[in-house]
Amino acid sequence: MAILRIFLFLFVIISSQGIFGEQCLNDQWPPKADRVVPTHVVNLDLPATERWKEISTIYKSEIIDLVDYIKKFVVEISPELQFLISLVDTKLPAMADTLPAPYGDEMKGISQATGVPLGEIVLYNIFYEIFTMCTSIVAQDKNGNVIHGRNLDFGLFLGWDMLNNTWTLSEKLRPLITQVNFTQNGQVIFKTTSFAGYIGVITGMRPGVFSISMNERYGLKGGYIGLIEWIFNINRKQSFVTFAMRDMLTTSETYDQAVKYLAEVKLTAPCYYILAGPKPGDGVIVTRSRNGSDDIKPLGKDNLWFLVETNYDNWKKPPFYDDRVTPCIKCMKTKGQNQVTFESLFNVFSSRPMLNKLTVYTALMEPATGRLESYWQYCRDEDAPCVPW
């Protein structure tokens, strides 16, 4: 941990002197064809154990590589999570049977398809509850059309590769990124941008109804408290934050239903849910504690035509060492309400520090039309230094 403290100190000194500059780019669209994330299908009509077989088989080696890395590295770097590693072979396999349907059986199917022990697949699927950094934007143009986008940043403090100047876990995640269309009776029920073999939802959309992204909430006791309570049967009257999103995508038939559900459901971890809908004014940030909502900020508050959320309460000043909000707001205002398009938002998300060393993908969603596009993201130092996070 001493190395991390030194790294943080150096970053604060460097960033305070302006070496990592702010950007508001205009030339990043369209992304090159090789950055388009592939799309796969999960057929909900199949038995739960078979739904992920094709995807898991395709990405078998990448899943194995990632799980091996998580096990080896986390035990060395994160005391709060060492308990998870110690339980991989004892408690986590049995945990699959405690989860609400269909999640436990889907994990068992992934384990069977990849040959990865069930406890390790459970670890892979609960790991994202407590280690994501993100930037989410909901914006409305002058005609009332709403666009929703997000950068997913993942891998903070999980292994800095000094040779390549990257976060190792972020690099291992990119090959697993995929769009997944969940179908039933031959129809697409909802779409997600996720990682192969990961059954929860971090980014998703029910076409014509709503879109959703989740950001981790810092400053409170993290999701590991809820995990402990679940594993040891102290409290199972709560939902995992990404499973709650999938439940909502499966069952909520209106934007208002989705907002209400995510504002009220009991959770294992604090987080931010950012939603958009198909009608003018459909946009909200739901700031969640584990037991309920601490704040609900609608689109249009403070006379703004957009919402921005990172990993801090939006009514407070973000920390100086991780302020992605201020440059994001500046860039959005520079582009203006006449430029609320996939192109303009992708340019914002491709600008530093919204784009940083942890960023693995950008997803863009238009709830009214059901359009979802996802692109691999890379922050390289050739043009300008990248913020480590």
Q: Which residues contact 303 (CB under 8 A, 6 or more apart)?
A: none
**DSSP secondary structure of 122-184:** HHHHHGGGG-EEEEEEEEE-TTS-EEEEEEEEE-TTS-EETTTTEEHHHHHHGGGEEEEEEEE
Beta bridge partners of residue 137, listed in sequence order: 149, 308
Q: How far is CA 49 from CA 63, 90, 96, in A?
A: 17, 22, 12
Q: Using the 8-state DSSP alphabet, how is residue 321 labeled?
A: G
Beta bridge partners of 250: none
**DSSP secondary structure letter of residue 239:** B
Are 154 and 360 spatial neighbours (Cβ–Cβ below 8 Å)? yes
331 classed as catalytic? no
| Residue 383 host element (H or E) | none
H or E element that contains 98: none
Contacts 24+ apart (CB under 8 A), 68-74: 69/159, 69/168, 69/169, 69/172, 70/123, 70/124, 70/127, 70/158, 70/169, 71/120, 71/123, 73/158, 73/159, 73/168, 73/169, 74/158
**Could you tell me where the beta strands, DSSP code E, fall in 11-117?**
39-43
Q: Quick one: CA torsion of 338, 342, 345, 350, rounded to 10 degrees?
A: -140
Single-letter residue type at 179:
Q
CB 306 within 8 A of CB 137: yes
Q: Which of 134, 328, 379, 386 is catalytic?
A: 134
Contact 133, 310 (CB under 8 A): yes
| Residues with active-site annotation | 134
